[in-house]
Amino acid sequence: MSQLLKRTLLAATALIASASAAQAGAITVYSALEEDEIAAYLAAAKTALPGVEVNVLRLSTGDLGARLIAEAANPQADAVWGFAVTNTMHPDILKQLEPYAAKGLDKVPAQFKAKDNAWFAATGYVGALCVNTEVMKAKKLPMPTSWKDLTNPAYKGELVMPNPASSGTGYLQVAAILQGAGEAEGWKLIKALDPNMAQYTTSGSKPCKMARAGEFAIGASLAFVAMQSIEQGYPVKMVIPSDYAGYELEASGLMKSSKNKADAKAFLDWTLSADAAKLYASFKEMTTLPGAPQSAMAKKAGLPADLTKVLYPMDFAKSAKEREGILKTWQATVGR
């Protein structure tokens, strides 16, 4: 019995010991970037920063935001990397960030970084429609090019979009329409889309996954998911709405509480380096670093080389501030 007890205690101590992660030369980074890009970036960062071990916790934007706020009393991360800027601006998260002028920050245009340098965004993602070409053919539906097209009653029950109350992607689409068309016209358009909308999903990538599986004809989602679906061989065509294409910036920043700021800063510097920019070009539909070429995947999916031509210049501070009010109106008008 005592032998067993001793062994149990030993095991327990080992379990607890595995907890203590703080270690010289190691940093913990929270990220909402995509799984496969993180792996590629980290491999490159390892060569550039041989002395720094970067441990990344990857969660979806919503879950990561919840975790960051929950841990506010005793933050566990040294840096945040590629996290939706709308969520970064939540006061409980923003106050955990320490302004830091990373090396190369001067190259980033002003609209892609905070005035006080609390965050900067090297990359972003773009809202897009995933259109299942097989379903379109079978149901003889016209190919849409804009949100306005989607109000055509022919699409009734064939559209899916994320619920802006639970998905950042859903919110960026609604915000783009409202900012682009103005309050009155914007709400009119959103209301006109509602009869065609079969479902408002919980997550932002889901509409595209439903569309690519042939469950619905068109899913309003993200360009990244659309491009990946095309790459994987699904019968999907990506359409960036020509009227109001929303996008979101992926912000990075230094945590005030970091116990290894030197390494965290070195890593943040690296995310703005030429090395990193080259990699963004192979994964991202949108980068804020000048001179980065367009990715092959984006080209194949038909994304315009100059995104600024199709993207509505979004005001993220405004978008974050008005979120609560917009969601209230949304729930009152079309919420199901």
Partner 1 sequence: MSTARLAPADRLLLVVSIGVPLIGLALFFLYPLGTIAVRSLTATDGSIGLANYAAVLSNPGIGAATWNSLVLSAATTAICLVLGFAIAYTLQRTRLRGRGLVTVALALPMLAPSLVQGLGILFILGRNGLVHKWTGLPVDAYGFTGLLISDVFYALPQAVLILQAALRHSDARYYDAAQVMGAGRWRQFFDITLPNARFGLLSAGFVVFTVTITDFGNAAVIGGNFRVLATEIYAQVSGQMNFGMGAVVGILLLLPTLVAVAIERVATQRQFGGGSESAIPVPPDSVRARDLPLGILVHGAALSIILVVATVVFASFVRLWPYNLSLTLKNYDITIAGGYRPLWTTLEVSLVAAGLGVALLFLLAFGMKRLPPALAKLAYLAAVLPVGVPGMVLGLSYVFAFNLGDNLLGILYGGSLLIALCNFYHYHSQGFLTMMTGMRTVPPALEEAISCLGGGLGAVLRDAVLPFIATTAVSVFFFLFMRSMVTLSAVIFLITPRLSVAAVSVMRLDEAGFVSQAAAFSTCIIITVLAAMMAMRVALNWASRRRA
Q: Which residues of the chain form contacts with partner 1 (CB under 8 A)?
A: 11-12, 15-21, 28-29, 34-36, 39, 55-60, 62-63, 65-67, 69-71, 73-74, 76, 87, 90, 92-93, 135, 163, 165-168, 198-200, 202-203, 205, 209, 213-216, 225, 228-229, 232-235, 323-324, 327, 331-332, 335-336
Tell me how far apart the alpha carbons of residues 192 and 312 are, in angstroms, rounded to a whole number: 21
Residue 30 or 270 having the CB closest to partner 1: 30
In whole angstroms, how far apart are CA 229 and each of 12, 123, 176, 197, 226? 45, 20, 24, 22, 5
Residue 157 or 302 having the CB closest to partner 1: 157
Listed residue (81, 78, 17, 31) closest to 59, CA to CA = 31
Q: Determine whether 126 is exposed, middle or buried from the number of CB atoms within 10 Å of its CB (0-12, 13-18, 19+).
A: buried
- 219, β-bridge pairs: 130, 160
Listed residue (154, 248, 151) closest to 194, CA to CA = 151
- Rounded least distance, CB 336 to partner 1, Å: 4
Residue 1 or 110 having the CB closest to partner 1: 1
- Rounded least distance, CB 241 to partner 1, Å: 21
Residue 202 or 242 having the CB closest to partner 1: 202
- Rounded least distance, CB 199 to partner 1, Å: 5
Residue 169 or 273 having the CB closest to partner 1: 169
In whole angstroms, how far apart are CA 103 and each of 62, 117, 217? 29, 12, 45
- Rounded least distance, CB 3 to partner 1, Å: 16
Residue 55 or 111 having the CB closest to partner 1: 55
- Rounded least distance, CB 56 to partner 1, Å: 6
CA angle 284, 272, 72 (to 5 degrees): 90
Tell me how far apart the alpha carbons of residues 123 and 113 are, in angstroms, rounded to a whole number: 11
Residue 64 or 177 having the CB closest to partner 1: 64
Torsions phi, psi for 255 (to 5 deg): -85, 135
- Rounded least distance, CB 1 to partner 1, Å: 12
* Whole-angstrom Cα Rg for the chain: 22
- What does DSSP assign to residue 142? P
Residue 76 or 117 having the CB closest to partner 1: 76
Contact assessment for residue 117 and residue 101, using Cβ atoms and an 8 Å cutoff = yes
Contact assessment for residue 81 and residue 252, using Cβ atoms and an 8 Å cutoff = yes
- Rounded least distance, CB 12 to partner 1, Å: 6
- Rounded least distance, CB 228 to partner 1, Å: 5
Tell me how far apart the alpha carbons of residues 205 and 169 are, in angstroms, rounded to a whole number: 8
